[in-house]
Chains A and B, each alone.
Chain A
Amino acid sequence: MRPLRGLPWRGGAPLDTPFGTFVPPNITPHSVAGIGGWTIEDFAKAVRQGVSPEGEPYHPVFTYSFYAGFTDQDIADLWEAFRTVPPVAEKAPEHDVGFPFSFRSGLKLWRAAYLDAPDTDALMGTSSPWNRGRLLVEGAAHCAACHTGRTLGGGLDEAARLAGNDSLPGGSKAPSILAAELIGRGWTVASLTYALQSGLLPNGDAFGGSMAEVVAQGTSYLTDVDRAAIATYLLDPEGRGAIPTPTLPPTDTRMVAWIIRRWI
């Protein structure tokens, strides 16, 4: 995966959404253009509550709702990591969002309607990998942000959580990652763990779209234990402790092709 263009954390690629175009801001430690003038308390409030140091709510395109359960230690670790980033003096462009979405106070209504802290507390009777997986999937990894459709108000469609989203910013799609569908597509804990490291699907295809970026810039940096925890939780979200073995998808021709090459 090629690195994203530009200096790290200086502001990202614009996100085209039905509500307007959002530009991820400069979050390098530059004192004027970035977050160098913030305190760690400001940082904690921004990450866990989605509120700026000036008291304005952030647009939910910043996925802070998934980070509400971050511990103080998580915040301190992140803060220290961000402080090591070389500062960049260039401010990111402003969002291009029309009324009424440009009216930030209106976001308080959105928060009242949709903002819920993720449920990531350990569950009695489930395994350690499962609990770790839930913490990551529902929290830091924020899988639902892409793999769940949105309501007209831009909130997650909780009735179809992780059931896929055909309308991602930029026109791409995220498939369903519900356990039954993952298993139906041939995924196992081992293959999903490996995919989060390598970007390879069980049929030998390589992720494209946003998921290629998620692997290259995100999950490939996790430990194998954490990747396996994510896979365990996604394939057994109820925590039953048993994951059905998938049958090979009927469209999978890889063994046929391989046999032919070996014989002819």
Chain B
Amino acid sequence: MKPQWTGALALAASAVAAVALAHNGAMGVVLERMNGMTAMRDTVAVLAPMMQGAVPYDAFAVSEGAGVIAGHAGETMLSLFPEGSLEGVTHARPEIWSDWQDFADLAKELKTYADAFAEAAPNGLEPAPQPRGGMAGMDHSAMAMAPEPEANRRFTVAELMGYGDKTPEIPVARGASNPAMLAVDLTTLAANDLFTRISATCSSCHSRFRAGRT
């Protein structure tokens, strides 16, 4: 066995041990979903500096990380929350099942954004350029100008006061509506825009359905 594999396996063993310790008492689907959440959290931690431009952008790593998130989102996530699975150590709140549709919408929203994130990985930190030519006669209303990066956006008074929609080319932000109904092609967005939407979806879900943590 190559030394690097030995090292990697040793790291894997210690990671498994760390997970087991961290989830002391969790078993079955509870443990499985905690492991999924941990995998997504670790992926987000690695990608976040890249999304801020603090470390060099790596499209392959972004695509791979997006795949990790997508793999734990949507129906996969929902299948790990059978009704009333609150036994042992869990951060799940019973509202998951009383408000199941909302929970399911968030899980699916996460999958939609993560899938788009994987496809948009080559875009980098800028929206995909508009294709040249061949656009005559098309309805451009859903393909408006590329949105401003989230951190630099200027908001209207209506947006700031909470009664106005976000800028028209971004009809959804912070989990505000069903992304499947979007007029904009998510895969044309900058990768960091999608990453922001993913983190907002996570926060939205945690605030409603996760107990005991801020």
Residue of B whose beta carbon sits closest to that of A174: B214
Is A261 in the interface zone, CB < 8 Å from B? yes
Is B89 in the interface zone, CB < 8 Å from A? no
Interchain Cβ contacts within 8 Å, total number: 148
Q: A175-B214, A208-B214 are in contact. Are A85 and B41 (CB under 8 A)?
A: no
Is B14 in the interface zone, CB < 8 Å from A? yes
Asked whether B46 lies within 8 Å of A254 as measured between CB atoms, the reply is yes
The answer for the CA separation of A210 and B15 in the assembled complex, in Å, is 31
Nearest-neighbour CB distance to chain A for B53, whole angstroms, equals 11
Residues of A within 8 A of B135 (CB): none
Asked whether A204 lies within 8 Å of B42 as measured between CB atoms, the reply is yes
Nearest-neighbour CB distance to chain B for A185, whole angstroms, equals 11
Asked whether A204 lies within 8 Å of B41 as measured between CB atoms, the reply is yes
Asked whether A8 lies within 8 Å of B175 as measured between CB atoms, the reply is no
One of A38-46, A129-137, A192-200 contacting the partner: A192-200
Asked whether B14 lies within 8 Å of A216 as measured between CB atoms, the reply is no
Residues of B within 8 A of A210 (CB): 207, 214
The answer for the CA separation of A188 and B150 in the assembled complex, in Å, is 20
Is A84 in the interface zone, CB < 8 Å from B? yes
Q: Kindly identify which residue among B9, B15, B157, B206 contacts A206, using a CB–CB cutoff of 8 Å.
A: B206
The answer for the CA separation of A174 and B213 in the assembled complex, in Å, is 9
Number of contacting residues on B, CB 8 A?
52
The answer for the CA separation of A209 and B212 in the assembled complex, in Å, is 8
Asked whether A257 lies within 8 Å of B48 as measured between CB atoms, the reply is no
Is A112 in the interface zone, CB < 8 Å from B? no
Residues of A within 8 A of B207 (CB): 1, 207-210, 212-213
The answer for the CA separation of A4 and B196 in the assembled complex, in Å, is 19
1/0 per residue, CB under 8 A from A, across B21-49: the answer is 01000000000000000111111111010
The answer for the CA separation of A82 and B195 in the assembled complex, in Å, is 32
One of B72-80, B125-133, B182-190, B197-205 contacting the partner: B197-205
Asked whether B161 lies within 8 Å of A263 as measured between CB atoms, the reply is no
Q: A3-B162, A204-B44 are in contact. Are A259 and B8 (CB under 8 A)?
A: yes
Residue of B whose beta carbon sits closest to that of A209: B214
The answer for the CA separation of A263 and B4 in the assembled complex, in Å, is 8
Is A253 in the interface zone, CB < 8 Å from B? yes
Asked whether B206 lies within 8 Å of A198 as measured between CB atoms, the reply is no
Residues of B within 8 A of A224 (CB): 151-152
Residues of B within 8 A of A220 (CB): 150, 174
1/0 per residue, CB under 8 A from A, across B61-90: the answer is 000100010000000000000000000000
Asked whether B175 lies within 8 Å of A1 as measured between CB atoms, the reply is yes
Asked whether B162 lies within 8 Å of A9 as measured between CB atoms, the reply is yes
Is A203 in the interface zone, CB < 8 Å from B? yes
Asked whether A197 lies within 8 Å of B151 as measured between CB atoms, the reply is yes
Residue of B whose beta carbon sits closest to that of A205: B41
The answer for the CA separation of A146 and B78 in the assembled complex, in Å, is 33
Is B155 in the interface zone, CB < 8 Å from A? yes
The answer for the CA separation of A64 and B33 in the assembled complex, in Å, is 42
Asked whether B52 lies within 8 Å of A194 as measured between CB atoms, the reply is yes
Interface residues of A in 122-164 (CB under 8 A from B): none
Q: Kindly identify which residue among A1, A194, A251 contacts B203, using a CB–CB cutoff of 8 Å.
A: A1
Interface residues of A in 227-264 (CB under 8 A from B): 251-261, 263-264
Residue of B whose beta carbon sits closest to that of A164: B214
Asked whether A260 lies within 8 Å of B174 as measured between CB atoms, the reply is no
Interface residues of B in 150-165 (CB under 8 A from A): 150-152, 155, 157-163
1/0 per residue, CB under 8 A from B, across A172-186: the answer is 111100000000000
Residue positions of A touching B, CB distance < 8 A:
1-4, 7-9, 81-82, 84-86, 172-175, 190, 194, 197-200, 202-213, 215-217, 220-221, 224, 251-261, 263-264
Residue positions of B touching A, CB distance < 8 A:
4-5, 8-9, 11-12, 14-15, 18-19, 22, 38-46, 48, 52, 54, 64, 68, 102, 150-152, 155, 157-163, 174-176, 195-196, 199-200, 202-204, 206-207, 210, 213-214
4 smallest CB-CB distances across A and B, nearest first, come from: A204-B45, A208-B206, A206-B202, A212-B207
Q: List 16 A-B contacts (CB under 8 A).
A: A1-B174, A1-B203, A3-B176, A81-B157, A198-B48, A205-B213, A207-B203, A212-B203, A213-B207, A216-B203, A224-B151, A251-B18, A253-B19, A256-B15, A261-B64, A263-B5
